[in-house]
Amino acid sequence: MQNFKKNISIPLLAAALSLVVFAIIALSISDNQIHRFDDILITWIQGMESPGMTRWMELFTWIGSGLPVVAITLISMIVLYVFLGHRRELLFLGCVIAGSAILNTLLKLVFQRARPTIHRIIEATGYSFPSGHSMAAFSLYGGLAFLIWKHVPTTAGRIAMIIVSAAFILTIGMSRIYLGVHYPSDVVGGYFLSGCWLATCIWFYQRYLERISLLQSKPLT
């Protein structure tokens, strides 16, 4: 019983819960309830349209696209490796980002959901569910928040870090809805799928660190 409690940690429970919510959303795509949810949020978010808001949303959708995500990831890895000397954290971040991208590609091929066609401000190709921008944003900024957390000495600093990370994640997802290239359920589904993957990576990473610490604490014979 003690071994069971030891193996079941908060990251593992978070991963399981996120997977369940994602599965519910995925199974509800063809259901009228999810369409009503999508329509309500689309009406609310696109109802804020203005030239200034459109420029703002285009900026954040660009930040969440391939090249900026790769650039931010590489810069973060360089900082982790060169300035902080954290090779394990570098590998962790790389696995989180790469795994999220692979999952998104595979599941888009599985679900093959067409993108919205009403009031599209920008053009986008490929399938709609789950949102790649949302998954990349959650993996990147969520992963960085996890890694930076222990290096921030104050509670105020940690709260500010969480707020900034959450703001980027939410705004990037919202930009996809505003610009008419994703349904809200694509974005929310992407968040939960990426949350499941991130929590799973955190669990494995923590277990790996525990094993390394245990091996280092054993006396040499």
* DSSP secondary structure letters along 84-117: S--HHHHHHHHHHHHHHHHHHHHHHHHH-PPPP-
Q: What is the pLDDT of residue 77?
A: 83
Task: Identify the band that residue 32 occupies on the pLDDT scale cut at 50, 70 and 90.
Answer: low
| Tokens read off for 139 | 């993996």
| Chain segment 105-134, per-residue pLDDT in tens | 999 999 999 898 888 888 888 899 999 999
Q: What is the pLDDT of residue 164?
A: 92
Q: Coil, strand or helix: which one is 8? A: coil
Residue 86: pLDDT over 90: no
Alpha carbon distance 158, 132 (integer Å): 27
The structural domains of the chain, with segments of one domain joined by +, span 12-207
CB 179 within 8 A of CB 121: yes
Instruction: Round the average pLDDT of the chain to a whole number and report it.
Output: 87
Q: How far is CA 206 from CA 5, 12, 94, 197, in A?
A: 15, 11, 16, 14
Q: What is the pLDDT of residue 2?
A: 44
Residue 140: pLDDT over 90: yes
Residue 155: pLDDT over 60: yes
Alpha carbon distance 155, 85 (integer Å): 24
What does pTM read for this prediction? Answer: 0.88
